[in-house]
């Protein structure tokens, strides 16, 4: 459960995208215990509830990170950078380098990858990636 003063982050992902499933497995294998990330598919109830909280926000169909303490949403490149920061070193250093690139340029690259991701990453059979049993506690709908 959530400890006092512990931030809680939720990564929403496209449950039909192989690249998103790869990102989830990547994150789970590197996630520090002091900064857990929780995962939910964009097609689930939790994301529908998030959209109700932010009715004027434009959400992509790939990944969204929500900081539950600050009530802040990160999308596209900002979401990728946020995940890298949460994973700690050396990923945090890579995030720092990416933060030096103007966001419109990063988002153009993000959009290019998002458009072709289904061609290069096989669509999964289920919305939850195949993960070890002990990591399932980080997932919900």
Is this model's pTM higher than 0.75 or not? yes
Q: Inform me whether the pLDDT recorded for 87 exceeds 80.
A: yes
Higher pLDDT, 69 or 131: 69
The owner of tokens 């932010």 is 54
Q: Inform me whether the pLDDT recorded for 36 exceeds 90.
A: no
- For 23, how many CA atoms within 13 A lie in the half-sphere containing its CB? 28
What pLDDT band is residue 4 in, cutting at 50, 70 and 90? very low
Distance separating the N- and C-terminal Cα atoms of the chain: 17
Higher pLDDT, 74 or 34: 74
């Amino acid at each position: 459960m959530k400890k006092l003063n512990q931030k809680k982050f939720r990564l929403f992902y496209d449950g039909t995208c192989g690249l998103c499933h790869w990102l989830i497995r990547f994150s789970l294998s590197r996630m520090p215990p002091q900064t857990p990330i929780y995962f939910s598919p964009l097609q689930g109830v939790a994301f529908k509830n998030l959209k109700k909280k932010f009715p004027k926000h434009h959400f992509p169909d790939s990944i969204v990170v929500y900081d539950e303490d600050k009530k802040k949403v990160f999308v596209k490149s900002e979401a990728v950078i946020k995940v890298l920061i949460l994973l700690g070193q050396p990923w945090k250093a890579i995030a720092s380098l990416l933060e030096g690139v103007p966001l419109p340029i990063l988002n153009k690259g993000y959009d290019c990858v998002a458009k072709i991701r289904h061609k290069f990453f096989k669509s999964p059979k289920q919305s939850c990636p195949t993960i070890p049993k002990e990591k399932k506690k980080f997932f919900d709908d």
